[in-house]
Amino acid sequence: MNQLNIEIFDKPTRNLWDTICSRPADDNKKVMAVVKDIFAEVERSRDLAVQTYNAKYDKNNANNFLIDQEIIQLASNQLSQKLKDAIAQARQNIYAFHQAQQQNDLAIEVTPGVTCQQITKPIERVGLYIPGGTAPLLSTVLMLGIPANIAGCKEIILCTPADENGKVDPAILYTASLVGVTEIYGVGGAQAIAAMHYGTETIPKVDKIFGPGNQYVTTAKQYAQQLGTAIDMPAGPSELLIMAGKGSIPAFVAADLLSQAEHGIDSQVVCVVDDISLIEPIQKELMLQLKRLPRKSIAGKALENSAFVYLSDINDRIDFINQYAPEHYIICAEEEQFYMDGLTNAGSVFLGNYSPESAGDYASGTNHTLPTSGFAKAYSGVNLGSFTKQITVQKLTSKGLQVLGNTVIEMANAEQLHAHAHAIQVRLDYLQKSQSDV
């Protein structure tokens, strides 16, 4: 029955859940060693190092990374009107959802004479990494470029692999021009991340790096973070968990599982069921649909990392789902509201039979740049706030200082930070003297 080599767990006890929830992982030591070498060379030789690695990994021997504006403008002519219309609709939905995330600045008088504010400012210079090659992710240009533009980032730098002639996929160029990207560079891989971290003669240093990528790009982002450049989030291979219950449609469940499995051989999909008899029809659909996929070898390999999990108790099911903390989470069960109310950990949720994960990947409006590998327990997906920072402001009047002063002095002395206390006391003494002189 289990022809797809997907392991089936029949009412696993909780002590097995950690094992089931583990993600496929490569030995990262080798990858990190390569990444560190690339960073060291880019720091030392800048553009020359980027050229060398572009030639080595992408067969791109171009000396100029910056894509000319004229080439960007001509990209529109290379796309069908149907694709441009699809991009326009997706852009409209993504823009509407992210624009609605804007928050007003706030101000409050917390006690007489003490006013606190929170103001929002954009990150000035952001770097977007967009995978290219056989799967140029134009959708990720929308997902990252649109909130960066709404946030008001002054510079939006985009790096993406170029081909052997130094050319970038026209769909990426066209989409980038729509969302306000200021500069596009034909650079991919870990060398692109290193270039945006250090800055080169051509590519500017950025304040924060966004975007998905292969294990070298992901590791490079994590290394850049160690060296002081902010990143959007820790991320790894794509993943999906489906809660399939009564009312779910096996063909739909199988299609959604395969839509994530085709991302890469290290992707993972998990299907939780409330009735073990649901597994067989889903498996049959997986076999039928897998045969028709152009990327069936990739999806088939990813399914070997995957699992069916049958848990008879509904509370066990929600506990398991929260422990897994999926990047993508589809709920196809009659108890939809229960599974939503009990949810604490997930990147993005898709409700019902007619909400496939691929809708969120492209055009529903939510962002598809999401935490993986269990990081949904602590991280949100990319949103408008990812491109901004909140600055707090306080103003104390003389009355406010007198109201608050002794509290601060008492606490500072308790921490043995006497200069802190003195900074208050010197002002209180000044005010007391001023009042006595009147």
Q: What is the pLDDT of residues 213-245, one digit of tens each?
A: 888 999 999 999 999 999 999 888 899 999 999
Catalytic residue list contains 98: no
- Residue spans per domain, the chain: 7-24+237-365, 28-234, 397-437
The reported pLDDT for the residue numbered 17 is 97
Fold of 7-24+237-365: Rossmann fold (3.40.50)
Strand ranges, E, within 189-260: 208-210, 230-231, 239-244
What confidence tier does 25 reach under pLDDT thresholds 50, 70, 90? confident
What confidence tier does 3 reach under pLDDT thresholds 50, 70, 90? low
Q: CA angle 370-193-219, nearest 5°? A: 60
Residue 417 identity (one-letter amino acid): L
| Average pLDDT taken over every residue of the chain | 95
- What would the mean pLDDT of 293-300 be, rounded to a whole number? 94
Q: Indicate if 28-234 has the same CATH topology as 7-24+237-365.
A: yes
Q: Is the pLDDT of residue 2 over 50?
A: no
What confidence tier does 399 reach under pLDDT thresholds 50, 70, 90? very high
The reported pLDDT for the residue numbered 120 is 97
The reported pLDDT for the residue numbered 1 is 37
CB neighbour list of residue 10: distance below 8 Å, 6 or more residues apart: 276, 310
The reported pLDDT for the residue numbered 437 is 73
Choosing from 239, 328, 357, 368, the catalytic residue is 328
Choosing from 239, 327, 335, 357, the catalytic residue is 327
- Which CA distances in Å does 26 have to 107, 216, 284, 373? 49, 11, 30, 13
Q: Is the pLDDT of residue 53 over 90?
A: yes
- What would the mean pLDDT of 123-149 be, rounded to a whole number? 93
Number of neighbours of residue 336 by Cβ within 10 angstroms:
15
Q: Tell me the pLDDT tens digit for each residue of 148-191.
A: 999 999 999 999 999 988 999 999 999 999 999 999 999 999 99
**Dihedral of alpha carbons 287, 288, 291, 297, sign:** negative
Q: Is the pLDDT of residue 319 over 90?
A: yes
Catalytic residue list contains 328: yes
The reported pLDDT for the residue numbered 27 is 66
Query: In the CATH scheme, what architecture does the domain 28-234 have?
Result: 3-Layer(aba) Sandwich (3.40)
The reported pLDDT for the residue numbered 340 is 98
Query: What percent of the chain clears pLDDT 90, i.e. is strictly above it?
Result: 91
- What would the mean pLDDT of 94-104 be, rounded to a whole number? 97
